[in-house]
Amino acid sequence: MDNENLETNIGKIAGLIASSRRLVFFTGAGISTESGIPDFRGPGGLWTRLDPDDFTIDKFLGSKESRRKQWHFVQEGLMTGRALPNAAHIAIAELHRMGRLDCVITQNVDDLHQKAGVPEDKVFELHGNMKRAVCLDCRSRYPFEEIKVRLDAGEDIPACPNCGGTLKPDVVMFGEQLPYKVLEEADRRSRAADVFIVVGSTLVVYPAAYMPQYAVESGARLVIINLGDTPMDREASVLISARAGETMTAIVKRVRG
């Protein structure tokens, strides 16, 4: 996209945001790659180095070796507290501070929207959050930092300190149901949106990818900011193929002006 067209589209998006009453953002792995978090399916993504079959809930529950692999992956910190919000996260948080944001629906598990300043109750995490571990027996939750101390001390499969049950990262694994209440509220917010902005998602992972479809079916204007095509490009009122950080910064500057 040439600079003139990009500037025109940035202006269009800023206009949509300025006139919106129910602005919803939907974010995927592409918003966090600029924070140093690898995506899953792109060149050099996690699934080029790891076997997705090792990250199913069935294997986690049925195989100690699989649990060991998954906890080692968590211990390496690829998707945990080392990453910091980038310009795109900060721009979305700025829209919240300006009173423009209804909510963020995210496929990400990195907590970066909250770190940037979007309140917890405005972030709907469809796939969970790596900052926590949950016991599958007593449902107690623990901060990841607490579990990492144990991993660094040599535990390879940490158990629940409360009941001795099975701990797992509080994220949705392959074959696991999405959290019902979060999914239900994300569905409701998507259908109520008047402007729905996708940032950094290929829109191929379901049921999360139904959210922009619900928004469009309910009359929302769809914006897609993503490096690469998505199945919903033809439905978009504005489509930008550019980096999330610089694009969102430019959009918010226009809205503020």
What is the per-residue pLDDT for 80? 54
User: The domain that contains 94 carries what CATH number?
Assistant: 3.40.50.1220
Q: Are residues 109 and 206 in the same domain?
A: yes
Our CA dihedral for 27, 227, 13, 220, rounded to 10 degrees, sits at -50
Hey, which residues are catalytic here?
A: 127
Structural domain for 209, as ranges = 1-37+85-127+177-257
- List the chain pLDDT tens, one digit each, 257 residues: 556 699 999 999 999 999 999 999 999 999 999 998 876 555 555 544 556 677 789 988 888 988 888 888 777 765 555 789 999 999 999 999 999 999 999 999 999 999 999 999 999 999 999 889 999 999 999 998 899 899 999 999 999 999 999 999 999 988 899 999 999 999 999 999 999 999 999 999 999 999 999 999 999 999 999 999 999 999 999 999 999 999 999 999 999 98
Q: Are residues 166 and 251 in the same domain?
A: no
Q: Are residues 28 and 56 in the same domain?
A: no
User: The domain that contains 166 carries what CATH number?
Assistant: 3.30.1600.10
Cis peptide before 85 (omega within 30 of 0): no
Question: What residues contact residue 46 under an 8 Å CB cut-off, 6+ apart?
Answer: 38, 39, 40, 78
Residue pair 203/196 in contact (Cβ under 8 Å)? The answer is no
Q: Mark which of 171, 203, 223 sits at the end of a domain.
A: 171
Handedness of CA 92, 35, 157, 150 (dihedral sign): negative
What is the per-residue pLDDT for 50? 59
Using only C-alpha atoms, what is the Rg of the chain?
A: 19
Q: Mark which of 115, 141, 171 sits at the end of a domain.
A: 171
What is the per-residue pLDDT for 72? 83
Q: Are residues 153 and 68 in the same domain?
A: yes
What is the per-residue pLDDT for 51? 64
Q: Are residues 44 and 71 in the same domain?
A: yes
What is the per-residue pLDDT for 43? 54
Q: Are residues 146 and 215 in the same domain?
A: no
Q: Are residues 163 and 73 in the same domain?
A: yes
Q: Mark which of 146, 171, 196 sits at the end of a domain.
A: 171
Beta-strand ranges (E) seen in the chain are: 23-27, 101-106, 123-125, 128-135, 141-143, 167-171, 195-199, 221-225, 238-240
Q: How many structural domains compose the chain? A: 2
Residue pair 133/113 in contact (Cβ under 8 Å)? The answer is no
Q: Are residues 199 and 236 in the same domain?
A: yes
Kindly report the number of other CB atoms within 10 A of residue 243's CB atom: 19
120-125 own/partner pairs: CB under 8 Å, 24+ apart: 122/96, 124/182, 124/185, 124/186, 124/189, 125/179, 125/182
Q: Are residues 155 and 208 in the same domain?
A: no
What is the per-residue pLDDT for 106? 98
Q: Are residues 187 and 233 in the same domain?
A: yes
Q: Are residues 51 and 7 in the same domain?
A: no
